[in-house]
Structure 1
Amino acid sequence: MVITASKRETKLLKTPLAVTALTQESLDKQGIQDIRGMATSVPNLQMGSNGDSSTAISMRGVTSTDTTEVAEAAVSIHQDGFYSPRPQGALALMYDVERVEVLRGPQGTLFGMNSPGGVINVIPAKPKFSTYFGHVDAGLGSYNGREVRAMYNFGFSDTFAVRATYTASKHDGYGTQVQDFTDIASPANGIEKDGIPDVDQRYNKPVAAKDWYNNDNEWAGRLIARWRPNDRFEMTATVSRFADNGAGDSDYQDCKSAEGTPAACDHELRYLKINVPGYVRMTLDDYQLKTAYNINDSMVLEYRVGFEDERRHQLHDDDGGFYPPAEWSSIGAPQTAEQAATLSYPVSDNSSDTQGSNYRSVTHEIQLKSNGDHRLNYVLGAFYLYEHKQILYSQDFIENKSYDAESGSLIDGLPYGVVYDQRDRTTESKAVFGQFDYKMTDTLTLTVGGRYSWDKKGDHNGYEYGDWTPSDAWYNGLYEPTSVRAHQSSDLTQNMGRNAPLGSAANPLVYITDSDKNWNVGTYRLGLEYNPSPNHMFYGSIATGYKMGGMYEAADFCNNGCVKILEYGPEHVTNYETGYKGKLFHNKLQLSATLFLSDYHDMQNTGDKVIGINTNPNSPAEGRAVTAWTTDNLPLARIEGLELEFDSKPWDNGELGGYVSWLHTEVIRGTLIDEYACAGRVIFGQTQCGAPDEQISLKGNQLPFAPEYSLTVHYQHTLHLGNGYTVQPYVLMHWQSKMWLDVQNYDGAHLAQLQDAYTKFDGNIRITPSNDTFYVEIYGENLTNIATKNFQSAGLGELLASYDAPRTLGVRLGFDF
């Protein structure tokens, strides 16, 4: 297989990098339709999803769980070599591709910033000249699943061709979703159930299963035009659109962890009680132009320009209907130790609204590179990126513990809300790079490469409205609480909270942010490649990478007017790697082996972090920690591992492949303030959180999303029937050991931050005639219906988690024409 991982065409087995390359045939075998589906196909690759229609990608334990406009992915996404800065680009459906290349380890020299973990490059199939052909697939599956994929190649002449691709996928939401009409009672406070819901009903409406959370309603189209007027010049223009019209993702309660506690589930795992139905309208448009001019037989000049435009509107129910048990919550002053620990109101009623976002980026890249295989091969280039980001994002927290025993306040459950009006966030990157491969002898090649980047981030005229302290100002003067229960749903109107005008009593202007950050960074690659024979190659390399830092909005570090901008620094990695690639046993076995060690300095870690101590005397949480969703830097972490990939033909008509990997991750230096599940730990009698300014050591902890061992084995057998038909059964087994979901590695009962070891099976049976003009396939994914988590957070005594898909069964048909 020929790949472009080094930005030149090289054979996979002659490329001195840890690369997994998947063809469309490989993707079809495994039922992979987007990047999320590749988690079991690539060593040390993990995928997670969250509520903002994006994917968190982790490779070799290197990840970024911040998928907002603030940060960038740690594993960069490229489409035909064009950098895609937003992680939502990972959702684009993969169909009609030539191959997908997954490069593991830092790629700081050729691919630049924000690729310390690796690169995923999706390369679409090129239009073919002077021929007309097409293909269409359709399928039906579980949860009312429907899919269609179509491609047609227009080979108008021997110099001009166009290829058109369309794909769409739909399925209902998983599990069960019901409407939330929670009506609370507190006899001690004179509150009886009266048939009026206490949770917000302004958005509540019945929705069909096709519009439940965790559904699928996506489509994508791509048009590629290719023009080659002569042997020296070629131009390719691509226009594509990806659209998500679904409901978005939502977490479920981890029922297994809650067993034996007051928070135990009285419902199935995949269950939601919703008063804000999900709504997503997201589009991602890409426009790409690539030109290549062969200056002579050994030198090519290539220029690329790309423009990406992402727009999104999304409404999301943030609590999912998961409330603390009655004995852990209270109206009025807390009466028990559990109620005092949680400081929780009986219901949570939180929602968010991305009222509009627009992320636009333009990239330019010019490359001068050698063509063919010479004694000296090289790539020289320059790169430029500019991204402009706008978002109007708001959150309402409508039911909150607000009773103040010292002041004698009788109002409890007051709301608050915030609105972020980010008008001018920018990212700019300039870089020059070069890499040289010099054959010192016929068998020994030296690689020297380097890149220097000038990067800048800006946040100008960023307005933050609202108040993080529960207050009757949220009602915007349209309602005044008069009893211990602040309100019921019938008291709420559309002009309250985040829907009130900016600058009003409900949304006062509290902060304006204006900040710029700059980084000038050099990265490099040094390598040796030894080819003792055509079928064997050994290599070693030292490579560095980096990921830029950034800034969030301003935050009140003490909930009492201590305002500072939340900032974090860049991360840097040095990776030492040695490997082997070859063909063995008369070419029946193709084997790749990689041994690596990475030292990470200032590794970025995102989550709910303690930023200060609450000194507000009007807050029931005075003296407790103030937290914010932000990123900090771990001073030093180390990652080492071994990856073995193999493809073989052990006997006639049989194909056996897969990988085995060992991954050891460790924090060498790093601390945090322990604020994880403090209330739950008090309730369950576990080690309590320390003071809100007390640092605990993370030394020796493992990085999240990095199971120590993982294994995938897949086998396909071809049976030739007497009537000319072919039957191909295929089975895939994936196993991985325990995986931490947070760097704190907390393992207390009912609150553990981990996904246990598991095994999954996928399979299909495909039938084709002798002329291969059509196929029929029956498939099953996650056949044993294992529930596995890819992300989680702690509620009040229970865990909420993002789960991978349950068992799905279906049938597909495909036709060539």
Structure 2
Amino acid sequence: MPVFAQDTTDEKSTWALEEIIVTATKRETNLMETPVAISAFSQSELDRQGITNVKDIANLVPNLDIAYDQDQSSPVIAMRGVRSTNTSELGDPSVGLHMDGVYSPRPQGAMALMFDVERVEALRGPQGTLFGRNSTVGTINVISKRPVIDELEGSLGIEIGRWNQRQIKGMINIPVSDTFALRASAMKETRDSYLNGYYDANQWDRRRLPAEAQNAPLLTGEPQTLTQRANSWTAPRELVAADPETFYNNSDQYAYRLSGLWEPSDTLSWMLTYEKYQDSSAGGINTIDCDKADQRLSENADGDMVPGLLGCEYIYGPGADEYTVAVNTPGKLDLSIDSVRSNLRWDFSDTLSFIYNAGYASQQRSALMDIDAGVTDWDMALNFIDTDYVSQSHEFQLQSMTDGPLQWIAGIFYFKEQNGMEGYFNAAMNDSTFWDQPDRTLESIAYFGQGTYDLSEKLHLTLGYRWSKDTKQDKGGHNKSCLRDYSLGPDDEGYPGCYPAWVSDAPGYEDDPNGYFNSYSADHFDDPSIYTDTTNNDTKGSWASATYRFGFDYDLSDEVMLYSYLANGFKSGGIGDVVVEYEQDPTTAEYPLDADGNRIVKTTHASDYDPEEVVTFEIGAKGDFYDGKLNLSGTFFLSSYKDMQLAAPESVYNVYAVQMNPNEEHYGEVETNGFVVYRTKNAAKSEIKGVEFEFDWAPYRNGHVSGFATWLKTEITSDFVTRFDYAASDLFEMDYGPAHDNENPDLYRNLKGNELAAAPEFSVTVNYDHTFNIKNGAKVIPFIGIHWEDESYLTYWNVDKHEFPVGSTGAYDDTRAAFHVVNVSVKYLSADESWNLEAFGYNVTDESIPYWAGGSDGVVRGSRSMPANYGVRLNYSF
């Protein structure tokens, strides 16, 4: 909102834009005088756009894209075409996230609710000198409001929206004494699922389904869904509509924050904050891109390959769309984050200040999700029994405080994280893989300094340097597995304890052949003792780096500043699971033993990866014009990446397993199978260049328009030969085994020349609001915001740029069509500004936008935007 100047005789100066103060250089500076590409947003701007967490700010920041990985309950933040899709405990994000200046290591922290916020700052370009870890392409800093020493104030807000949404938030600031104040704030939100959700008892595993789904009526007509047809030999049942209050993609979360500020003197300030976030929803689930799925070719009854037999209606029945899903595993998410942050500042002399920022965070998560959701009849589920991430960070700073020609900052940073995880992936018709990672640690230490020197009254030089070292280690970690073996019974030697034998003469077999499986308890596979160790993940890696910043800024006039810099960035390498391949007889599926009775090791595959490095040159300009009514900023950047870290599913090697074939009357066939992991690899080189233009304009009294326009070009510039794993069987028209054979040369393509994911060439955002004054002093403020993005890719494979045996790749490509989003609202603000009532609509044109795609079924499934949402909110403050 524009802020109007009061006492002036110059008509041109009767209104002006608000001056925005940021901390991009770790000291307070005017946004338009800070030589960094940065966007900043206040709480009122976030509220107006319906933004409650970092995940939702993508459309407000140039060249920012934020997807969501349902499997890890984690956002995937991309900036200027760079992102990290490894959101597990092994991965590091490419965009650093800070809360009140304290580093937040896990990307799940971006899901924490944002409320009672002073501002959100999004810095673009390498920020490694001052912000350190994982800031190769940018940093996001969420700054909460500090307690106010001398003022009692409070607020209460209520929001009601579509899908039975209910949101409430409040704040109270209490001045306890002349030197101490407390501030408490909280927020809670619930919302039903917006999916057309069903429970499906025709899928293999029915153990967790509610009783009404397990006992659903028998199907009286012809089978209409994939699972009804695939399991027609088990007396198929009707689908049962799920309760949207507890189904996937609902919302059930709360957070609260308690801060204390002590200022015993003008030179000493200490703020201590405790924050709690809890998400108890059903979690998210991937849905189908119906247009792409309809293009897939499948064999009809006459043996012809025709499209349309793998689309949404083929899978889920007539009327199904991209928001339809049928599951046999109800979703569950229990994500809890407890944080303590301390900010101490002591101006111990007229020229020096000491700052100590410390943080402690504990993130605990358990999650259960349906992976295939009835898209196949293999029936896959993912269960994180428990993940526990505990971290601490400490940063000591020494800053200059003089008005002289040199301003500088120096500091030491220390960070440590300890992770533990238990979980498993279960393919009910085949096998189960268990992860037991009790002790994965990360330790980082860094020394940094940066200074700006006035070479003249208008020309300023900035130099920065940081040395850092990261060490990652895994102790006692194991992958465990159990393959179904139908040739063995419970009394046979070597019988696996996690799966029962196939007992063809068991009671009720003819009516329900998989009934024995469902006799197990829901937590049967939670027990690690029923599995066999397949890997020993003990490994360790260390990486050291030096990052720098060299820049100039020049005051062209009192209104215009020019700046340029050269900076590099570094993201440490990583450790991965140690995968061991044993010698095996492919005809018998037996493993020869050595003289000591151990399996003979054929190859050891360590999925470690190297550091990622970038060098960026940027030149930009910022200016305010027409007596502060127009702010303009623009920048051109060129980034050169070496060993960019890219993650995707990959078959590590071939194993041989005894599998069942449900379409035959006998079992025990030996078929080739692939061992697939989510693996990070280093692309050789890539280049990114672009232009970002931002504007903020009050063209006339009570009018306000803002936004940005961008151009972005990304390219993998050197050979990067890799094997496709998205729908490989279909793309290459091969059986499953050859399509996952690392030694098959037909599977490989050179991705040189490909574009990076989440990098549209053009994007535009325009926001406009106008304030209408009413005679009683109240105001009515309508708002409209429009965001448009050009076509882009969802992965770095760029399927449409390569040739495959299959006649058409349209069903498997990873393109995302151009899209637009329109948000609108109208607010009534009381004369004394103590309360306001606002009606809103988000995505009012009901665009369905894919944000994430991947998996062994190709890019047909992924997370999508929420349909059109609307509601009202009421806020009161005192």
TM over 0.5: yes
Distance in 1, matches of 2:361 and 2:702, equals 44
Secondary structure at the aligned position of 2:245 is classed as helix
Distance in 2, matches of 1:205 and 1:367, equals 59
Question: How far off its partner does 1:570 sit?
Answer: 1.2
Secondary structure at the aligned position of 1:211 is classed as coil
Question: Which amino acid counterpart does residue 627 of structure 1 have in structure 2?
Answer: V
1:77/1:85 contact within 8 Å kept: yes
Change (3 A) 1:149 1:710: same
Secondary structure at the aligned position of 2:273 is classed as strand
Structure-1 residue corresponding to 2:825: 764
Question: How far off its partner does 1:621 sit?
Answer: 8.6
Question: How far off its partner does 1:390 sit?
Answer: 0.5
Question: Which amino acid counterpart does residue 629 of structure 1 have in structure 2?
Answer: Y
Candidates 149, 172, 175, aligned match of 2:192: 172
Correspondences of 1:84-483 after superposition (within 5 Å): 84-182=104-202, 193-195=233-235, 208-259=243-294, 260-266=307-313, 267-323=320-376, 347-371=377-401, 373-399=403-429, 415-467=430-482, 473=495, 476=498, 478-482=500-504
Distance in 2, matches of 1:737 and 1:449, equals 36
Candidates 534, 550, 565, aligned match of 1:510: 534
Distance in 2, matches of 1:773 and 1:582, equals 34
Question: How far off its partner does 1:629 sit?
Answer: 0.9
Distance in 2, matches of 1:578 and 1:624, equals 52
Distance in 2, matches of 1:798 and 1:537, equals 45
Candidates 715, 719, 742, aligned match of 2:772: 719
Change (3 A) 1:468 1:570: farther
Q: Is residue 77 of structure 2 the alignment partner of residue 61 of structure 1?
A: no
Question: How far off its partner does 1:588 sit?
Answer: 2.0
Question: Which amino acid counterpart does residue 263 of structure 1 have in structure 2?
Answer: L
Q: What are the superposed Cα offsets for residues 68-107 of structure 1, whole Å, 9 maximum, x if unpaired?
A: 1111111111001000101110011111111111011111
Question: Which amino acid counterpart does residue 818 of structure 2 have in structure 1?
Answer: A
Question: Which amino acid counterpart does residue 33 of structure 1 have in structure 2?
Answer: T
Question: How far off its partner does 1:617 sit?
Answer: 9.0
Distance in 2, matches of 1:498 and 1:636, equals 46
Distance in 2, matches of 1:190 and 1:548, equals 47
Question: Which amino acid counterpart does residue 625 of structure 2 have in structure 1?
Answer: L
Structure 1, 267-276 or 727-736: larger mean CA deviation: 267-276
Secondary structure at the aligned position of 2:528 is classed as coil
Distance in 1, matches of 2:860 and 2:676, equals 18
Candidates 720, 723, 728, aligned match of 1:673: 723
Question: How far off its partner does 1:477 sit?
Answer: 6.5
Distance in 2, matches of 1:641 and 1:313, equals 40
Question: How far off its partner does 1:586 sit?
Answer: 3.3
Distance in 2, matches of 1:307 and 1:182, equals 46
Structure-2 residue corresponding to 1:587: 628
Question: Which amino acid counterpart does residue 20 of structure 1 have in structure 2?
Answer: S
Question: How far off its partner does 1:595 sit?
Answer: 0.4
Q: Is residue 839 of structure 2 the alignment partner of residue 778 of structure 1?
A: yes
Change (3 A) 1:365 1:803: same
Change (3 A) 1:321 1:774: same
Candidates 739, 749, 757, aligned match of 1:704: 757
Question: Which amino acid counterpart does residue 383 of structure 2 have in structure 1?
Answer: D
Question: How far off its partner does 1:568 sit?
Answer: 1.1
Distance in 2, matches of 1:43 and 1:527, equals 22
Distance in 2, matches of 1:701 and 1:312, equals 36
- Between Structure 1 and Structure 2, the one with more strand by share is 1
Question: Which amino acid counterpart does residue 482 of structure 1 have in structure 2?
Answer: S
Question: How far off its partner does 1:227 sit?
Answer: 0.2
1:675/1:692 contact within 8 Å kept: no
Change (3 A) 1:557 1:540: farther
Distance in 1, matches of 2:583 and 2:180, equals 64
Question: How far off its partner does 1:384 sit?
Answer: 0.2
Structure 1, 284-293 or 474-483: larger mean CA deviation: 474-483
Question: How far off its partner does 1:622 sit?
Answer: 5.7
1:33/1:93 contact within 8 Å kept: yes
2:618/2:637 contact within 8 Å kept: yes
| TM-score, scaled to structure 2 | 0.84
Correspondences of 1:639-658 after superposition (within 5 Å): 639-658=688-707
Distance in 1, matches of 2:669 and 2:31, equals 61
Q: Is residue 556 of structure 2 the alignment partner of residue 532 of structure 1?
A: yes
Secondary structure at the aligned position of 2:58 is classed as helix
Distance in 1, matches of 2:684 and 2:258, equals 46
Q: What are the superposed Cα offsets for residues 120-146 of structure 1, whole Å, 9 maximum, x if unpaired?
A: 000001111121010111010011111
Q: What are the superposed Cα offsets for residues 396-445 of structure 1, whole Å, 9 maximum, x if unpaired?
A: 1112xxxxxxxxxxxxxxx2101111011000000000001000100000
Change (3 A) 1:699 1:478: closer
Distance in 2, matches of 1:255 and 1:392, equals 34
1:475/1:497 contact within 8 Å kept: no
Secondary structure at the aligned position of 1:518 is classed as strand
Structure-2 residue corresponding to 1:738: 791
Question: Which amino acid counterpart does residue 586 of structure 1 have in structure 2?
Answer: D
Structure-1 residue corresponding to 2:594: none
2:200/2:240 contact within 8 Å kept: no
Distance in 2, matches of 1:219 and 1:500, equals 28
Q: What are the superposed Cα offsets for residues 212-252 of structure 1, whole Å, 9 maximum, x if unpaired?
A: 10111111100110000011111110000111000111000
Structure-2 residue corresponding to 1:341: none
Q: What are the superposed Cα offsets for residues 473-532 of structure 1, whole Å, 9 maximum, x if unpaired?
A: 55647443439999414543336996264333xx11222221110011110000001012
Distance in 1, matches of 2:241 and 2:577, equals 36
1:416/1:497 contact within 8 Å kept: no
Structure-2 residue corresponding to 1:334: none
Change (3 A) 1:193 1:79: same
Question: Which amino acid counterpart does residue 711 of structure 1 have in structure 2?
Answer: V
Structure 1, 721-730 or 794-803: larger mean CA deviation: 794-803
Aligned residues: 768
How large is the RMSD of aligned CA atoms in angstroms?
A: 2.7
Distance in 2, matches of 1:349 and 1:701, equals 34
Distance in 1, matches of 2:393 and 2:236, equals 54
Question: How far off its partner does 1:627 sit?
Answer: 3.2
Change (3 A) 1:796 1:375: closer
Change (3 A) 1:728 1:623: same
Distance in 2, matches of 1:466 and 1:602, equals 32
1:147/1:170 contact within 8 Å kept: yes
Distance in 1, matches of 2:567 and 2:422, equals 39
1:676/1:689 contact within 8 Å kept: no
Question: How far off its partner does 1:614 sit?
Answer: 4.7
Unmatched 5+ stretches in structure 1: 199-203, 324-346, 400-414
Question: How far off its partner does 1:308 sit?
Answer: 0.5
Q: What are the superposed Cα offsets for residues 236-289 of structure 1, whole Å, 9 maximum, x if unpaired?
A: 100001110001110001112123421122112211111111111111010111
Distance in 2, matches of 1:131 and 1:745, equals 57
Secondary structure at the aligned position of 2:535 is classed as strand
Structure 1, 418-427 or 154-163: larger mean CA deviation: 154-163
Change (3 A) 1:794 1:518: closer
Distance in 2, matches of 1:547 and 1:641, equals 22
Structure-2 residue corresponding to 1:788: 849
Change (3 A) 1:564 1:665: same
Change (3 A) 1:772 1:474: farther
Distance in 1, matches of 2:767 and 2:122, equals 19
